[in-house]
Amino acid sequence: MENMLKKVFFALFVVAIAACGSKPRVNLEAEAGALKPTPQHAVIAKDVVGLFESISYKKVPFNDSISSVIFDNLVKAMDQGKNYLMQADIDEFEQYRSTLGQDFRSGDLSAAYHIFNVYMKRYLDRLDYALTQVDAPHDFSVDERYTYNRENEGWFASEAEANDQWRKRVKYDLLNLRLSGNGSDSAAVKQKETLINRYKNLISMAKKTDNNEAFQVIMSALTNAVDPHTSYFNPYFAQRFNEEMANTFEGIGARLTTENEVVKVADIIVGGPVYKEKALQIDDRIVGVAQGEDGEFEDIIGWKLDHAVAKIKGPKGTVVRLKVIPAGQELTAEPKIVSLTRDRVVIEDESAKREIKEVVGDDGKTYRVGIISLPKFYIDFEAYRRNDPDYKSTTRDVRLLLDTLKQEKVDAVVMDLRFNGGGSLQESIELTGLFIDKGPVVQVRDTRNRVEVSSDREEGVAWDGPLGVIINRFSASASEIFAAAIQDYGRGIVLGSQSYGKGTVQSAIDMSRVISPTDRILLKAKADDREGLPVGAPQFGQINITLAKFYRITGSSTQHKGVEPDITFPSLYSAEKYGESSEPAALPWDQISAADFVPIADLRPAITQLVNRHQSRMEASPAYKFLLEDIELMQKQETETSVTLQEDRLKKEREEGRLKNKSRADALQQMKINLPLGGGAATNVDEGLDFIQEESLAVMADYVALVRP
């Protein structure tokens, strides 16, 4: 007990020495205005390290090697572009490179907070200097360049070098505003005011950074050193993560942002209280919040967004009153009072959606293909645990969509999983069960090398017709489980590009389950001590930790390798830069024994024919040529790191780019094609067709023609 008290005491007052006893630690008390770790932070850090060393899949000793990785992660997380820190700062930080791991194990966060504090000082110094340069003379006829990406450059060697970089940054910002203005003196004054307000807003937000936010950055540096998919979330981030997983939350049904230190309505969620009551509109500003029908109002101007949102959200059925300045009115106007009863809000724009498209096949026949777009694998765990009969989940939603598609007599179904980063493992298994009649779906190996085969145990299928699955480089985890199972069973055709390659399983652990009773007493923390925390947020945050690895039913891991499509499209996103294989701390690929399963069909002969027809179409497709140009252009842009600050030259370059884009957009408009690969609309292309999806539908038309008797 005495040793434990000493550790927390040292973490709080930062007077500990290094484990070897030869190197003095940072005294944060001597740093004016420094952010400091709390005793709670110290205990959480210590316990997270304990989890890594005891129960995580990738058990890593916290030695010099892991300390060096944590060090690099922390510096990169703060200043990846090398725009703030000086070489002298990095040299001074180096004394902590080999000790950070041991520090975390003992709960000593002084060195990590010192590094963060120095970064924040440099950040504010640079912005303060930027303000002095807005009214400084700038010659836009001089031929010089601004390096906007300094990641591969050295750290600033001197104050003069840093100042020169930021002089150019300000000049570039002004030049952008000049090129979008009319060139008049009044416009120039307005542009400078805009830039001054921008920098002041950044300074204001930076000064609101608190020790909890610093702790989040520091803990991310720690967890990413062990595993790219293990994350610690503070209470605010934890609540947000869990709501995103559920696709539901309890509140007023509005997405909020901040502008000039005032909370503003950015979006209104269909079906929520705000939408139903028509109580607010986009760009309304909320300046005060009161709880219940008679609670006192709290002024929230200048509050951090997370704290303001925590006051506005709340349990279903409770009342919140808001002081609102309507959009377009001055902030000094008399606010109106809006009373809303909070409710359960479903985020429909991130739920499964369906549409039907007609495709004319090479045989001249018209086929109806149902497309189900699935942005993630979601489930409302809390409602599920409560046995709520109306709990929301991916499988329940998709089953209903398949029922409607069958009623409308589609010839084939395509599951579009592009940019689906995963989510619930159980949902990926149950969703697979909609397309196969019982059988193993995925194998999971835990930290003790025990392998469990997870199966679909429900008889029958929701759709037994032709099936396609579209994936891309950002289809990950649960998406890969589903796509791999469909491919391994021969149940459908997988189209697109190589998936992400995330073959690990995370479990969410509420840190209150980890913190010992002794530490709770030490922290004077009570189970109901939740002052200032969002409703439902875990008191000590949560850790999503890798506890297992999943494997295809063939025994092959998707880790690193991902899922290779049967019909492959070129990708904008290279494996070297995007995906699991680009993560230094990622687990390796390996293989285990295959599960006992019986393929539904051997699609290899059909796939050979489909590939040939697909390639023939591509060779004759103007849109395909545009897609290849996109890839070449993106690769070129990724190598560019600077831009000219000579006004006439930049203006000419942008005009040439605009004309080229317009010509390209006009051509795409004629073909009714939407590029790039992700399905996002190209400039000036209205209601065009997503090329990857469109060609995938053509492949499915070929497939239906092949398998239909």
Closest CA to 98 of 72, 136, 128, 120: 72
Distance between CA atoms of residues 692 and 678, nearest Å: 8
Amino acid at 500: Y
Q: Annotated catalytic, 488?
A: yes
Distance of CA 88 to the CA centre of its chain: 33
Cis link prior to 605 (omega < 30° from 0)? no
Angle subtended at Cα 22 by Cα 19 and Cα 24, rounded to the nearest 5 degrees: 85
> Cα torsion at 598, 604, 606, 608 (round to 10°)?
170
Where would I find the H helices in 257-393? 273-277, 305-312, 381-385
Catalytic residue among 488, 566, 630, 702: 488
Catalytic residue among 110, 220, 373, 477: 477
Q: Residue 606, class by beta-carbon neighbours within 10 Å (0-12 exposed, 13-18 middle, 19+ buried)? A: middle
Distance between CA atoms of residues 646 and 632, nearest Å: 27
Closest CA to 116 of 35, 11, 222, 23: 35
User: Tokens representing 377?
Assistant: 């694998």
Closest CA to 490 of 369, 612, 606: 606
Q: Annotated catalytic, 164?
A: no
User: Tokens representing 293?
Assistant: 């029908």
Number of other residues whose CB lies within 10 A of the CB of residue 31: 16
Where would I find the H helices in 502-601? 517-523
Catalytic residue among 168, 502, 549, 561: 502
Distances in whole angstroms, Cα of residue 303 to Cα of each of 106, 204, 210, 286, 527: 34, 11, 12, 11, 26
Q: Residue 636, class by beta-carbon neighbours within 10 Å (0-12 exposed, 13-18 middle, 19+ buried)? A: exposed
Q: Annotated catalytic, 7?
A: no
Number of other residues whose CB lies within 10 A of the CB of residue 512: 14
Distance between CA atoms of residues 342 and 313, nearest Å: 7
Q: Annotated catalytic sites, by residue?
A: 477, 488, 502
